[in-house]
A and B are shown apart, each in its own frame.
Chain A
Amino acid sequence: MIEPIDLARIQFAANITFHILFPTINLALAWILVFFQQRYNKTADKKWMEAYKFWVKVFALSFALGIVSGVTMSFQFGTNWPGFMKTVGNIAGPLLGYEILTAFFLEASFLGIMLYGYGKVSNKVHSLATALVAFGTSLSAFWIMILNSWMHTPIGYKMIDGVAHPNNWLEIIFNPSMHYRLFHMMLASSLTVSFLIAGISCYRWLKGDRTDSVIISLKTGIYLAAILIPIQIFEGDALGLNSLKYQPAKVAAIEGIWKTEQGAPLLLFAIPDAKNQTNSYELKIPKMASLILTRNLNGEIKGLNTFNGNHPPVAPVFFAFRVMVGLGFLMLVVSWVASWQIYRHNKIKDFLAKILVTMTFSGWVATIAGWYVTEIGRQPFLVYGILRTNEAVSSVSQKMLASTLTIYISLYIALVTFYISTIFYMARKAINKEGLQPPAVTPPVAAPKI
């Protein structure tokens, strides 16, 4: 039978994986909606408003799922990891508190006006509401990323009787990994949304919808992706260097380096063998890992064997990293080729459009893979160097954990399926083959009369 600690890990992982899907979309989508709205305000060209009206529905749907899973998260901390708040609560508390207050303050409050207020309030107020929702979502992400980063690179605290007390809040907030991780996540969100918008726009395109709103949505998605991917790749490199400095065990696991090496090769593929502390079926580029990580072909990288067992499980980290990077490079190629096509010919070839449709949710996969790299990569620590995960787990029985886990996982699988199919369904409904103004196919949306 699976140990309670592992059931707790799986359950938390399932909950937070499900939750992150939706803020990942909404973080950037909110700003894109602001963009569409500003363009409409400036040009009065209805294609921007049509794009806004379509994507605001996706935003609302994502927000609903994000909120309900967020409610779940606020309970999960207490039900599964009471040791976390006990040991680092004095630091986590205020950071979580501010995340809740900001999410609350800006997102949920102004969301009502943003979603239902069009026509009830002036255009100015409505635009302001949209911008505030976007700002609120970003601010929430800021606080959460600070907390998460601090868990990786804790600083500015002192331990008194086994409990962490804050020493210097500036150091805590601007901890060494914070800006790298925050920026990386915001780019990840932007790329996820770019491919989502591009994929759905291509889906409509392939079904004959050539309206202006589809074309500008497609352009927005593709160009944004093309610009941001190279930045994300550089950002990832910078984050890797930062991780090498503060969490060398994680980097060793990522690179699959069992023993300290100089001139370590870049493993494009391998199968890590934890028992024998080696890799099989290595497909490698010699000296590349050292070059990337130390800027020196013969640089030294510490091996997993130097950490006294305090290193993460290698296989999940190793493979998740390659999934993320592999997808990243695929996104690079696809977005650049697509940009070129659209820029030159103002349309996209069917073959490429089909690829983009398949890649609609590729951002999700890449983002989740990245999160798994970093969170599993931090193990066995919950807060690096301070608190181990197995020291923080609650005393809920195995039977209870197993039954609640089953409930959650079945629910989440069902909901993600419905979410994806509903988005494609919404896309189909919005299709207009004549290229005229889309008919009002949206179902009655209730709005109270003033």
Chain B
Amino acid sequence: MEHIINNQNWLPVAFAAIMGFAILVYVILDGYDLGVGILLNKADDFEKDLIIASIGPFWDANETWLVLGVGILLVAFPTAHGEILTALYLPTTIMIFGLILRGVAFDFRVKAQDNHKKWWNQCFFIGSLIAALAQGYMLGMYILGFKQQFENVLFSLMSAVCLAAGYCLIGSSWLIMKTQDQLQRKAVLWANTSLKFAALGLALVSITTPLISTRIFNKWFSMPNFILLLPIPLFTVLILIILYFTLKHMKNNNISFAWIPFTGSVTIFMLAFNGLCYSFYPYIIPEKMTIWEAASADSSLMIIFIGTIIVLPCIIGYTFFSYKVFWGKVELKND
């Protein structure tokens, strides 16, 4: 940690933290957007409208956290941005394709001809699914250092499915909070299934990451780190168990405390993400490039930093405000 004490080197760390924060917020917020999109096909037409209405006021802003995350990667760590995106060129393009499809489907489905609506709904579903899978694939390849071997591709395909499942978990949890009656009950069932795949994905990533790198292995399993860090996986398992029993209860009884699944899912995402960050620090390209090696000049970082610490709290404050304005169960009404 000595290298951080030297004043000059804290800017890259600060930006890594901000970037990490932006990506985490993106994964949670667009996680439920993409999640409900994937679940869309399982709903009937009226429910589809409800589902999309539940994310309506938020999805634009949610997606911009991705721009913030990638944007910071671009402006604060340009060398890494170039290398990572070149290595992930095809999955990135596929993800963008999915995001574009999902984004435009959102507006076109209500503004275009009524008989086109079901095609735009399909686009919404496909776009969400493609984006989620692509992101999961990118995560897998990132963990494995972008080496294009067969087993890495298999691992990344698996992580693609598991991230998509994670998004379904958080998406269905969101629906449990925001909807009522039949749709809410359906959401409980969806959450139940997603939970199992999400747990599998978590296990997979958690086991593989220390195995591929001795450095990471030592970070977690050397003493006293192992004891100090044990709460993280333990707490995660605890939440998974709580979620399992909550959902089981909700399946058969009245749904109370509808906020538990969502809060639990969000917490799991946060713990998993923090685990990954801890593993990879201080590398931005695993085992190859540290954040200091990738960073822009300090003077440029300082300029962006000043803007960021002014703007970021306002965005967060505003986000809370907007969730407050649009709080409550979803209802459809004619405008």
Contact = CB atoms under 8 A, between A and B. Distances in A.
A112 B178 contact: no
Interface stretch (A86-94, A182-190, A306-314): A86-94
B192 to A, nearest CB: 25
A369 to B, nearest CB: 25
Interface in A35-75: 57, 60-61, 63-65, 67-72, 74-75
A112 B111 contact: no
21 contacts: A65-B104, A68-B99, A71-B96, A85-B78, A90-B297, A90-B299, A93-B304, A97-B72, A100-B67, A101-B311, A166-B299, A394-B82, A394-B86, A425-B113, A440-B334, A445-B333, A446-B56, A447-B53, A447-B332, A448-B54, A448-B328
A72 B325 CA distance: 30
A70 B100 CA distance: 10
B132 to A, nearest CB: 15
A415 B104 contact: yes
Contacts of B64: 67, 103-104, 108
B58 interface: yes
Contacts of A443: 110-111, 114
Contacts of B331: 446-449
Contacts of B278: none
Interface residues of B, number: 75
A101 B61 contact: no
B125 interface: no
Contacts of A426: 111
Given A68-B103, A426-B111, A447-B331, A116 B300 contact: no
Interface string B28-68: 00000000000000000000011011101110110110111
A448 B103 contact: no
B49 A82 contact: no
Nearest to A404: B93
Interface centre among A92, A112, A117, A400 (most CB of B within 10 A): A112
Interface residues of A, number: 73
Interface stretch (B206-214, B252-260, B314-322): B314-322
Nearest to A449: B331
Contact of B100 (A82, A85, A415): A415
Contact of A444 (B57, B99, B332): B332
Interface string B295-335: 01101100110011001001100110010011111111111
Interface centre among A69, A79, A82 (most CB of B within 10 A): A79
A75 B99 CA distance: 13
B276 interface: no
Given A101-B308, A394-B86, A445-B335, A96 B75 contact: yes
A75 B96 contact: yes
A70 B81 CA distance: 17
A286 interface: no
B78 A96 contact: no
A68 B103 CA distance: 6
A25 to B, nearest CB: 14
B200 interface: no
B49 A446 contact: yes
B47 to A, nearest CB: 12
A105 B115 CA distance: 37
A94 B297 CA distance: 11
A77 interface: yes
Nearest to A405: B93
B333 A447 contact: yes
A295 B42 CA distance: 70
Nearest 5 CB-CB pairs, A to B? Answer: A446-B53, A82-B82, A85-B78, A93-B75, A68-B103
Contact of B75 (A60, A97, A112, A169): A97
Interface string B71-105: 11111101101111110011011001101110110
Contact of A74 (B70, B93, B111): B70
Given A61-B107, A85-B78, A444-B334, A97 B71 contact: yes
A400 B330 contact: no
Nearest to A442: B335
Interface centre among A74, A407, A446 (most CB of B within 10 A): A446
Given A100-B75, A450-B328, 10 more contacts: A65-B107, A74-B70, A78-B74, A78-B82, A100-B67, A104-B311, A108-B63, A415-B104, A446-B49, A446-B331
B190 interface: no
A395 interface: yes
B300 A82 contact: no
Contact of A86 (B72, B75, B82, B110): B82
Interface of B: 49-50, 52-54, 56-58, 60-61, 63-64, 66-68, 70-76, 78-79, 81-86, 89-90, 92-93, 96-97, 99-101, 103-104, 106-108, 110-114, 178, 296-297, 299-300, 303-304, 307-308, 311, 314-315, 318-319, 322, 325-335
Contacts of B112: 418, 421-422, 425
B103 A67 contact: yes
Interface string A411-447: 1000100100110011000000000000010111111
A39 B331 CA distance: 31
A440 B58 CA distance: 25
Contacts of A297: none
Contacts of A115: 57
Nearest to A450: B328
B53 A96 contact: no
Contacts of B57: 112-113, 115-117, 447-448
A67 B60 CA distance: 8
B325 A120 contact: yes
Nearest to A61: B107
A34 to B, nearest CB: 19
Contact of A79 (B49, B86, B111): B86
B52 to A, nearest CB: 7
A341 interface: no
Contacts of A396: 86, 89
Contacts of B326: 112, 116-117, 120, 448, 450
A101 B307 CA distance: 8
A72 B98 CA distance: 11
Contact of B56 (A82, A92, A116): A116
Contacts of B107: 60-61, 64-65
A65 B113 CA distance: 18
A105 B315 contact: yes
B41 to A, nearest CB: 19
A64 B113 contact: no
Contact of B74 (A69, A93, A98, A120): A93
A109 B100 contact: no
B86 A395 contact: yes
Contacts of A113: 57, 322, 325
A91 B296 CA distance: 10
Contact of B300 (A63, A166, A404): A166
